[in-house]
């Protein structure tokens, strides 16, 4: 089983083999490119750059697919979460057509890679369906249909959807796809190593000196490189992009049915947040994968509730549920203007690149990012370089800042010592639960393990000092501002933080 940044086990984690690299990082080495982050974006980018003849090292803080790639649902779409209506409005129709083309090329590239490297990842083409359930949604559906056609993607109304759910109107769109994302990434990683690339796991990229070549600081020492690419899902440090990307959690379940009536296709309702449905065959076993109940990270009072709602949604619509085989949640970053940020990291010298803000389409956009980033490094022309430029100035009307909680720097630094008895008395916490408690004018993040032992931390996120809160669903601390996540012991699970939470002595 591969490791993931949450306590729940995803379908992909449990059905893929971990990647065992054959080489280590030698500090003081010089590379052409350091790629930080070993999800689908990092591995796809590293492979392209290595194949172009550059000397690359991919450095992953944990193990490959530890991040959202291990917790996705892996629909490959040209019908994207940001509808073409919004893209045309926020940018223009020509750019909407470019986005559609990029998404199409991405699916084609994934399919070509699977054929080229003979990857066993159950890739299948599938028809997509988007359905409305009330008048307002039906109106919106028609607008989406028009804008999607104008962007060059053929969609048409259909009389039926593959789900046992009542609907008013539905659009169908051919040639979407689905696959096992982790098996795909592991196979690309192997191809990258065979092309001469190096993969280093369990090593965090910490920072870089703005020199030429760059000195990239990692937990295993410094390496020199002409380019540094952050494919870390969100870049570490403090950056403009943290104000332009909002962290969200989405919840998913893989269900076994009592019969073989697994609905074909990739299907979406139109609520906000919406539900998404698809099936996947893995080693002869079928699963119906359903997701939804998204909320901004650390903005839900009870993170078990989305699972409860999702299960009730499934059971009320499908009368043939045998068991919920897997349930998990994962994080994505919603961009301010609806398009991802791929290219030069804002505020940094020319040779630090980034790919982030994929929203719920990062499996599709990862391949777009890999090509775009590679073309920047190789100095090749590509219209997507301008389209997804992270330095674009595109403030949306009404949008000032995604950050809902102020990032006031913590004034209450924890200095004193507290007796366990006092904290036990104040903290009514069940085993396996965490809570932020107030003690004598200070705040402490407390977690009680299954044996009743308390683990105490300074709850100020090490990124920008917002106060973390406990996720009961994934058993970790989460920051409501920029989405950093930590395990019960304060160890970083998800950026942008790159330092652990400070431990408090009891
Ligand atoms: C529930 C859910 C369902 C989704 N479904 C779909 C879908 O159907 N279709 C779709 O297109 N998209 C989907 N998405 C979005 C998509 O899964 C993600 O956008 C995509 O997986 C992001 O891949 P990535 O490689 O950029 O990031 P990640 O997979 O998160 O990888 C980043 C890696 O960087 C590592 N890292 C972080 N910091 C450092 C550092 N400082 N140094 C070294 N390494 C570091 C992390 O450990 C991690 O392994 C979904 C998202 C969610 C949450």
Cα distance between residue 22 and residue 190, in whole Å: 10
Q: For residue 39, report the distance from its CA to the centre of ligand 1, in Å.
A: 6
Please return the burial class of 421, using the count of CB atoms within 10 Å of its CB with bins 0-12, 13-18 and 19+.
exposed
> What is the pLDDT at residue 58?
97
Mean pLDDT of all residues in 76-86: 97
* Ligand 1 pocket, mutate which of 363, 366, 484 (most atoms under 8 A from CB): 363
Q: For residue 43, report the distance from its CA to the centre of ligand 1, in Å.
A: 11
Which atom of ligand 1 is closest in space to residue 493's alpha carbon?
A: 47
pLDDT value at 225 more than 70: yes
Q: For residue 66, report the distance from its CA to the centre of ligand 1, in Å.
A: 8
**Does residue 197 come out as left (phi exceeding 0), alpha (psi in the -120 to 50 range) or beta?**
beta
Q: Closest residue (by CA) to atom 35 of ligand 1?
A: 37
Question: Tell me, what DSSP letter sits at residue 195?
Answer: T
Q: pLDDT tens digits for 386-399?
A: 999 999 976 554 34
Tell me the pLDDT band of 505, cut-offs 50, 70 and 90.
confident
* Ligand 1 pocket, mutate which of 70, 71, 73, 126 (most atoms under 8 A from CB): 73
Q: pLDDT tens digits for 203-221?
A: 999 999 888 899 999 998 9
Q: Closest residue (by CA) to atom 26 of ligand 1?
A: 233
> What is the pLDDT at residue 452?
82
pLDDT value at 141 more than 80: yes
Question: Tell me, what DSSP letter sits at residue 200?
Answer: E
Q: For residue 464, report the distance from its CA to the centre of ligand 1, in Å.
A: 22
Which atom of ligand 1 is closest in space to residue 43's alpha carbon?
A: 25
* Ligand 1 pocket, mutate which of 362, 463, 471 (most atoms under 8 A from CB): 362
Phi, psi of 208 (to 5 degrees): -145, 150
Q: Closest residue (by CA) to atom 25 of ligand 1?
A: 39
Mean pLDDT of all residues in 355-359: 98
Percent of the chain with pLDDT over 90: 82
Q: pLDDT tens digits for 258-292?
A: 999 999 999 999 999 999 999 999 999 999 999 99
pLDDT value at 348 more than 90: no
Cα distance between residue 200 and residue 22, in whole Å: 9
> What is the pLDDT at residue 432?
85
What's the Cα-to-Cα distance from 318 to each of 199, 280, 288, 293, 385, rounded to whole Å? 43, 17, 11, 18, 44
Give residues (CB < 6 A) around ligand 1. Answer: 36-42, 59-62, 66-69, 71-75, 204-205, 231-233, 236, 250, 252, 291, 330-332, 358, 360-364, 366, 495, 498
Tell me the pLDDT band of 365, cut-offs 50, 70 and 90.
very high
What's the Cα-to-Cα distance from 262 to each of 256, 279, 280, 310, 382, rounded to whole Å? 9, 7, 9, 18, 40
Question: Tell me, what DSSP letter sits at residue 122?
Answer: -
> What is the pLDDT at residue 413?
37
pLDDT value at 247 more than 50: yes
Q: pLDDT tens digits for 94-114?
A: 999 999 999 999 999 999 999
Residues 6+ apart with CB under 8 A from 50: 56, 192, 195, 196, 197
Domains and CATH numbers, the chain: 420-494 (2.102.10.10)
Q: For residue 250, report the distance from its CA to the centre of ligand 1, in Å.
A: 12
Mean pLDDT of all residues in 133-159: 98
Question: Tell me, what DSSP letter sits at residue 397?
Answer: T
> What is the pLDDT at residue 396?
53
- Cis-peptide, bond into residue 213, ω within 30° of zero: yes
- The residues that bridge with 329 in the sheet, in sequence order, are 251
Report how many helices (DSSP H) and strands (DSSP E) the chain contains, helices first: 10, 24
Q: Closest residue (by CA) to atom 38 of ligand 1?
A: 232
Cα distance between residue 488 and residue 501, in whole Å: 10
Strand, coil or helix: what is 328?
strand
> What is the pLDDT at residue 418?
58
pLDDT value at 117 more than 60: yes
* Ligand 1 pocket, mutate which of 360, 361, 494, 498 (most atoms under 8 A from CB): 360
Mean pLDDT of all residues in 71-76: 98
Q: For residue 68, report the distance from its CA to the centre of ligand 1, in Å.
A: 3
Q: What is the mean pLDDT of the chain?
A: 92
Q: pLDDT tens digits for 172-210?
A: 999 999 999 999 999 999 999 999 999 999 999 999 988
Q: pLDDT tens digits for 410-454?
A: 333 344 455 666 565 555 778 888 999 887 788 899 998 888 888
> What is the pLDDT at residue 224?
95
> What is the pLDDT at residue 328?
98
Residues in the chain: 506
Q: Closest residue (by CA) to atom 48 of ligand 1?
A: 67
> What is the pLDDT at residue 423?
61
- DSSP labels, 208-267: EESSSSEEEEETTEEEEEEEEEE-SSS-SSS-THHHHEEEEEEEEEEEEESSS-PPPSEE
Q: At what angle do helices 93-116 and 135-150 cross, to 10 degrees?
A: 80
* Ligand 1 pocket, mutate which of 294, 332, 496 (most atoms under 8 A from CB): 332
- Cis-peptide, bond into residue 410, ω within 30° of zero: no
């Amino acid at each position: 089983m591969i490791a993931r940044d949450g306590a729940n086990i995803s379908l992909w984690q449990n059905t893929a083999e971990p990647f065992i690299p054959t080489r280590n990082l030698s500090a003081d080495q010089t590379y052409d490119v350091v790629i930080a982050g070993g999800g689908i974006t990092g591995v796809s980018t590293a492979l392209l750059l290595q194949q172009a003849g550059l000397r690359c090292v991919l450095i992953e803080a944990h193990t490959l697919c530890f991040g959202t790639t291990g917790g996705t649902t892996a629909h490959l779409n040209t019908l994207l979460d940001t509808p073409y209506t919004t893209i045309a409005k926020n940018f223009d129709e020509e750019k909407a057509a470019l986005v559609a083309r990029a998404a199409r090329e991405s699916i084609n590239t994934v399919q070509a890679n699977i054929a080229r490297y003979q990857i066993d990842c159950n890739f299948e083409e599938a028809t997509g369906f988007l359905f409305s359930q009330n008048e307002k949604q039906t109106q919106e559906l028609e607008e989406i249909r028009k804008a999607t056609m104008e962007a060059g993607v053929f969609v048409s109304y259909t009389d039926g959807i593959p789900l046992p759910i009542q609907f008013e109107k539905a659009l169908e769109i051919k040639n979407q796809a689905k696959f096992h994302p982790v098996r795909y990434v592991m196979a690309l990683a192997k191809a990258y190593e065979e092309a001469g690339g190096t993969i280093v796991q369990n090593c965090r990229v910490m920072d870089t000196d703005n020199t030429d070549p760059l000195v990239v600081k990692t937990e295993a020492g410094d390496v020199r490189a002409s380019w540094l690419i952050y494919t870390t899902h969100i870049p570490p440090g403090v950056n403009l992009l943290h104000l332009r990307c909002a962290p969200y959690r989405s919840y998913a379940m893989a269900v076994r049915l009592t019969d073989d009536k697994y609905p074909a296709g990739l299907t979406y309702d139109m609520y906000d947040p919406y539900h998404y449905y698809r099936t996947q065959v893995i080693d002869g076993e079928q699963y119906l994968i359903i997701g939804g109940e998204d909320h901004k990270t650390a903005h839900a009072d009870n993170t078990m509730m989305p699972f409860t709602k999702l299960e009730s949604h499934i059971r009320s619509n499908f009368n043939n549920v045998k068991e919920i085989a897997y349930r998990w949640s994962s994080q994505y970053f919603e961009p301010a203007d609806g398009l991802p940020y791929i290219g030069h990291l804002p505020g940094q010298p020319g040779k630090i690149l980034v790919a982030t803000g994929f929203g719920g389409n990062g499996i599709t956009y990862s391949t777009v990012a890999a090509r775009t980033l590679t073309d920047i490094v190789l100095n090749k022309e590509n219209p997507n370089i301008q389209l997804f430029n992270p330095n674009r100035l595109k403030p949306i009307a009404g949008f000032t800042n995604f950050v809902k909680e102020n990032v006031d720097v913590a004034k209450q630094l924890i200095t004193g010592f507290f007796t366990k008895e006092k904290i036990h008395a104040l903290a009514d916490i069940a085993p396996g639960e965490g809570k932020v408690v107030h003690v004598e004018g200070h705040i402490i993040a407390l977690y009680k393990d299954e044996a009743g032992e308390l683990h105490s931390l300074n709850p100020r996120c090490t990124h920008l000092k917002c106060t973390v809160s406990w996720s009961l669903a994934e058993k970790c601390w989460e920051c409501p501002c920029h989405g950093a996540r930590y395990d019960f012991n304060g160890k970083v699970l998800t950026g942008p933080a790159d330092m652990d939470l400070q431990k408090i002595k009891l």
